């Protein structure tokens, strides 16, 4: 009964469409109170005076808490596993509330009231006086002599790292051609459908309980414990259904404050739900980055030398700190082979919203720069950009010299072949050769590689528990979190296939509870199918063995002669049915002489990684007169190893590509350069892709079979968002000859570039084309 590899329907699909899934906002409790945060209206400065007297006096207000009343110790927020090595721990740079204002909307005080309206009224009664400093919004703002330090004694540098491999000077010397480029990527926001939201209370055993929309319940538990300064065991975090995360909920944003406020109102439940406006500025963003690339190549297209400088703007708090910047430097080193390579990355504090994890964890950023640069290099030496990439892309067997991770499988060549075929690359290249008029068409492509999970940098630990129910079905508990991506469904497939039962005999506990759910670090780094999949497979195999042992006991037939198929124990040789799983389960539960319910409670510590690969091919039409880009066709092709569920995998790709197109063309958080005030932190002014804006997306998979994975599978969740932007940029270049090196490629930016390139006149307009 093959189930892994089949496009089975989401186990929660119909239920979610029917409104049966329960999110944080579906949690109601007796005596529920509502919290609102009093936020700064300056981007950099400090509170000189705060007066909450009038707010406290408002009827219905249960508590007003300011930065002066929160624990004095700082805590970290990143959704990384804890490390016992202090040098590996996340940056602890924030308090629950702060009088030092580090971004517009920084959290100064909080109000708890009997309803939301009263809480909002109370916010307006709080009086505050600031001392204001100039906002720090750029690399030069942050690093210039005498810049105000966002956090004391940092020089506004969270961390700076670098490496040099090989003799860089010598390699550049050997080059026939050297190209230098600069790129910029923008601040964007995850815009998950569900904003950050948590309900916290103190339970009958004096423990702090937090229901929250999170990707990382077990990590959240630890951070809440750290933030409140209580033993972690006294914290319980529960994750109900989650309406999307994309990395924004791989950070512990609202939970510590909600928990702390609950302790300030005698343990009564407190709901802290951010508005969309708050989610934009007070959760996390994708880092904007600036890149300087210098590469040397031989005439034959051999890449010899590369040096990259990257600055990553992290906003007012460290969040994931330098991890994302450091990961970017890996792409410079790993994606293409080169004799010598050097990279230097700095992660800086600014007065912007804190940047953190976002689908791709820095790789969509650096890959934009890299794949634009590769395109330009190929053009510079007059080589076909695809051939140039293929010549230099690393192969199966490649070992990253720094991490030691080996590429066991590599399907990038097949991905590119498939992409070329799907978009009819050669035909279009031919057709688009000589164009005139306002509207120009072009094709472009870009490649990527992406690691699966975090080993060897991070801990990779996953757990699963399976219980055989009385009817022969199983209950499956995992620590891994369903956040909309379909993980519960693929774990169901894995468990059903491994044991030998129908799909609907698997009942997944979709709600993680840190008191109960097996430990798993959570949903990030496209790790769950790869890492947590091992735990599910191991637990399911253990259940199957125990079933066969019980069957042996019941029928006195050796377990090795038996197998499980379609919910029956059968003779392995003949397939003849021997015992239904229901009869075995009933015997396990109710045989008074020898009752022993069958369970498996396992944990897997994974010490492997696997590189996923892929590429995007895009065909665009550019209107020179308006700067508008239409994506006519787009294909996103992946080597993600064996595909567990092609239908769900395609859905992941659709979402990721849509996000990638938005990143390429529309999305950018804007800030007033004078004040640092966000200008478009809402879904009206922030141009998020909608279904109407999204072209048909072509999806294809090149299935390799990775030996390190539980089912041959590799990362898929994040990769679709990586390569669309550079592919579109390269298609625009193909159409217009103009290099756009900064995201997003808005009409304004394109129009200015076209004008500069002489494609349109100084006044713009069609007549000059």
3 state DSSP class of 297? strand
Torsion angle (degrees, nearest 10) of CA 376, 380, 386, 392:
-90
Residue 168 host element (H or E): helix 168-174
Minimum CB separation of residue 475 from its own copies in Å reads 5
475 contributes a contact to its own copies by CB under 8 A:
yes
Binding mask 400-439 for its own copies (x = CB under 8 A): ----------------------------------------
Taking the CA of residue 566 as centre, how many other CA atoms within 13 Å lie in the half-sphere pointing to its CB? 7
Among 1, 29, 561, 757, binds its own copies (CB under 8 A): 29
Minimum CB separation of residue 263 from its own copies in Å reads 12
Minimum CB separation of residue 3 from its own copies in Å reads 16
User: Facing residues of 508 across strands?
Assistant: 476
Minimum CB separation of residue 4 from its own copies in Å reads 19
Residue 575, Cβ density class (10 Å: 0-12 exposed, 13-18 middle, ≥19 buried): exposed
Minimum CB separation of residue 407 from its own copies in Å reads 22
Q: DSSP secondary structure string, 192-229? A: -SSPPEEEEEE-TTS-EEEEE--S-HHHHHHHHHHHHT
Measured from the CB atom, the residue of 203 and 384 that comes closer to its own copies is 203
Question: ∠ CA(577), CA(578), CA(579), 5° rounding?
Answer: 110
207 contributes a contact to its own copies by CB under 8 A:
yes
Q: Near its own copies by CB under 8 A, which window of 49-57, 230-238, 327-335, 697-705? A: 230-238
Long-range contacts of 142-149 (CB under 8 A, 24+ apart): 142/313, 142/348, 142/349, 142/350, 143/348, 148/44, 149/349
232 contributes a contact to its own copies by CB under 8 A:
yes
C-alpha Rg value of the chain to the nearest Å: 27
Binding mask 133-152 for its own copies (x = CB under 8 A): --------------------
- Which residue is it, tokens 């998950």? 192
CB 336, CB 303: distance < 8 Å:
yes
Measured from the CB atom, the residue of 218 and 537 that comes closer to its own copies is 218
Residue of 209, 278, 271 lying closest to 248 (CA atoms) = 278
Identify residues 438-457 at the interface with its own copies (CB under 8 A).
Answer: 455-456
Minimum CB separation of residue 594 from its own copies in Å reads 7
CB 191, CB 683: distance < 8 Å:
yes
Minimum CB separation of residue 519 from its own copies in Å reads 5
83 contributes a contact to its own copies by CB under 8 A:
yes
Binding mask 1-20 for its own copies (x = CB under 8 A): ----------xx-xxx-x-x
Taking the CA of residue 712 as centre, how many other CA atoms within 13 Å lie in the half-sphere pointing to its CB? 13
Identify residues 245-274 at the interface with its own copies (CB under 8 A).
Answer: 266-267
CB 619, CB 441: distance < 8 Å:
yes
233 contributes a contact to its own copies by CB under 8 A:
yes
Measured from the CB atom, the residue of 7 and 266 that comes closer to its own copies is 266
Identify residues 105-124 at the interface with its own copies (CB under 8 A).
Answer: none
Residue 146, Cβ density class (10 Å: 0-12 exposed, 13-18 middle, ≥19 buried): exposed
Identify residues 639-668 at the interface with its own copies (CB under 8 A).
Answer: none
Minimum CB separation of residue 47 from its own copies in Å reads 34
Measured from the CB atom, the residue of 477 and 652 that comes closer to its own copies is 477
Measured from the CB atom, the residue of 30 and 49 that comes closer to its own copies is 30
- Which residue is it, tokens 């230099």? 392
Q: Near its own copies by CB under 8 A, which window of 49-57, 71-79, 329-337, 470-478? A: 470-478
Measured from the CB atom, the residue of 11 and 326 that comes closer to its own copies is 11
**What are the tokens at 583?**
């009869």
Among 186, 473, 608, 681, binds its own copies (CB under 8 A): 473
Taking the CA of residue 402 as centre, how many other CA atoms within 13 Å lie in the half-sphere pointing to its CB? 17
CB 289, CB 372: distance < 8 Å:
no
CB 625, CB 761: distance < 8 Å:
no
Measured from the CB atom, the residue of 438 and 583 that comes closer to its own copies is 583
Minimum CB separation of residue 544 from its own copies in Å reads 17
Identify residues 675-714 at the interface with its own copies (CB under 8 A).
Answer: none
Measured from the CB atom, the residue of 175 and 588 that comes closer to its own copies is 588
463 contributes a contact to its own copies by CB under 8 A:
yes
21 contributes a contact to its own copies by CB under 8 A:
yes
- Tell me the C-alpha distance between 513 and 218, whole Å: 8
Minimum CB separation of residue 359 from its own copies in Å reads 24
Output phi, psi for 197, to 5 deg: -155, 140
Identify residues 501-520 at the interface with its own copies (CB under 8 A).
Answer: 505, 507-510, 513, 515-516, 518-519
Among 458, 646, 647, 764, binds its own copies (CB under 8 A): 458
- Tell me the C-alpha distance between 589 and 413, whole Å: 54
Minimum CB separation of residue 19 from its own copies in Å reads 8
Question: ∠ CA(229), CA(230), CA(232), 5° rounding?
Answer: 115
477 contributes a contact to its own copies by CB under 8 A:
yes
Q: Near its own copies by CB under 8 A, which window of 46-54, 68-76, 358-366, 461-469? A: 461-469
Number of chain positions touching its own copies (CB under 8 A): 77
756 contributes a contact to its own copies by CB under 8 A:
no
Identify residues 589-618 at the interface with its own copies (CB under 8 A).
Answer: 589-597, 599, 601, 603, 605, 607
Query: How far are the Cα atoms of 216, 264, 524 from residue 480, in angstroms, in the given order?
Result: 8, 32, 10
205 contributes a contact to its own copies by CB under 8 A:
yes
74 contributes a contact to its own copies by CB under 8 A:
no
202 contributes a contact to its own copies by CB under 8 A:
yes
Sign of CA dihedral 233, 235, 239, 245: negative
Strands 628-639 and 611-623: antiparallel
Identify residues 535-594 at the interface with its own copies (CB under 8 A).
Answer: 586-587, 589-594
């Amino acid at each position: 009964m093959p189930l892994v590899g089949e496009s089975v329907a989401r186990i929660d699909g119909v239920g979610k469409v029917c409104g049966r899934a329960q999110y944080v906002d579906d949690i109601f409790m007796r005596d529920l109170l509502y919290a609102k945060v009093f936020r700064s209206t300056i981007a950099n400065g400090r509170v000189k005076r705060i007066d909450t007297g009038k707010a406290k006096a408002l009827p219905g207000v249960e508590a007003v808490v300011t930065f002066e009343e929160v624990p004095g110790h700082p805590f970290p927020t990143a959704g990384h596993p804890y490390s016992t090595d202090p040098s590996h721990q996340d940056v602890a740079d924030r308090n629950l509330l702060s009088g030092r204002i580090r971004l517009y909307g920084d959290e100064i005080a909080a109000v708890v009231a009997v309803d939301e309206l009263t809480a909002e009224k109370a916010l307006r009664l709080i009086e505050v006086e600031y001392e204001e400093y100039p906002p720090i919004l750029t690399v030069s703002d942050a690093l210039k002599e005498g810049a105000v330090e966002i956090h004391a004694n940092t020089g506004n540098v969270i961390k700076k790292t670098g490496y040099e491999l090989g003799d860089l000077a010598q390699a550049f010397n050997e080059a026939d051609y050297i190209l230098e480029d600069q790129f910029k990527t923008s601040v964007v926001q995850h815009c998950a459908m569900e904003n950050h939201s948590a309900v916290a209370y103190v339970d009958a055993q004096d423990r702090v309980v937090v229901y929250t929309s999170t990707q990382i319940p077990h990590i959240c538990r630890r951070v809440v414990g750290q933030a409140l300064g209580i033993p972690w065991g006294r914290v319980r975090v529960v994750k109900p259904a989650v309406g999307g995360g994309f990395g924004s909920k791989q950070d512990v944003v609202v939970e510590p404050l909600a928990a702390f406020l609950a302790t300030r109102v005698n343990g009564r439940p407190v709901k802290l739900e951010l508005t969309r406006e708050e989610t934009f500025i007070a959760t996390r963003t994708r880092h904007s980055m600036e890149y300087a690339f210098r590469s040397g190549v031989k005439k034959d297209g051999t890449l010899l030398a590369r040096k990259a400088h990257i600055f990553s703007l992290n906003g007012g708090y460290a969040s994931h700190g330098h991890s994302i910047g450091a990961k970017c430097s890996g792409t410079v080193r790993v994606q293409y082979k080169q004799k010598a390579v050097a990279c230097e990355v700095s992660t800086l504090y600014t007065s912007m919203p804190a940047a953190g994890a976002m689908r791709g964890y820095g790789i969509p950023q650096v890959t934009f720069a890299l794949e634009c640069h590769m395109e330009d290099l190929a053009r510079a030496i007059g080589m076909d950009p695809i051939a140039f990439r293929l010549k230099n892309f690393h192969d199966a067997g490649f070992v990253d010299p720094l991490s030691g991770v080996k590429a066991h499988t590599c399907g990038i060549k097949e991905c590119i072949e498939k992409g070329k075929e799907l978009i009819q690359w050669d035909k279009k290249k031919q057709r688009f050769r000589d164009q005139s008029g306002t509207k120009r068409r072009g094709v472009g492509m870009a490649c990527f590689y992406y690691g699966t999970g975090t080993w060897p940098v991070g801990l990779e630990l996953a757990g699963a528990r399976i219980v055989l129910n009385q009817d022969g079905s199983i209950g499956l508990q995992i620590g891994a979190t369903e956040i909309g991506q379909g993980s519960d469904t693929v774990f169901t497939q894995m468990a059903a296939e491994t044991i030998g039962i129908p799909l609907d005999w698997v009942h997944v506990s979709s709600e993680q509870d840190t008191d109960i759910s097996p430990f798993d670090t959570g949903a990030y780094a496209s790790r769950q199918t790869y890492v947590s999949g091992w735990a599910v497979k191991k637990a399911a195999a253990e259940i199957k063995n125990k079933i066969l042992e019980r069957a042996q006991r019941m029928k006195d037939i050796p377990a090795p002669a038996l197998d499980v198929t379609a919910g029956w124990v059968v003779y392995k040789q003949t397939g003849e049915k021997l015992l239904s799983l229901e009869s075995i389960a009933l015997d396990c539960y109710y045989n008074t002489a020898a009752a022993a319910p069958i369970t498996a409670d396992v944990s897997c510590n994974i010490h492997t990684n696997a590189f996923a690969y892929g590429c995007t091919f895009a065909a665009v039409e550019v209107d020179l007169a308006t700067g508008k880009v239409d994506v006519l066709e787009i294909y996103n092709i992946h080597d993600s190893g064996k595909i567990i569920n092609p239908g769900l995998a395609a859905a992941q790709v659709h979402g990721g590509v849509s996000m990638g197109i938005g990143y390429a063309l529309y999305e950018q958080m804007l800030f007033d350069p004078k004040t640092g005030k966000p200008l478009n932190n809402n879904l009206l002014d922030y141009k998020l892709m909608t279904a109407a804006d999204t072209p048909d997306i072509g999806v294809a998979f090149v299935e390799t079979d990775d030996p390190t994975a539980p089912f041959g599978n590799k990362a898929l969740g994040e990769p679709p968002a990586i390569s669309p932007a550079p592919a579109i940029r390269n298609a625009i270049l193909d159409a217009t000859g103009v290099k756009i090196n900064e995201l997003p490629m808005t009409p304004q930016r394109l129009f200015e570039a076209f004008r500069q390139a002489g494609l349109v006149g100084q006044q713009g307009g069609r007549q000059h084309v």
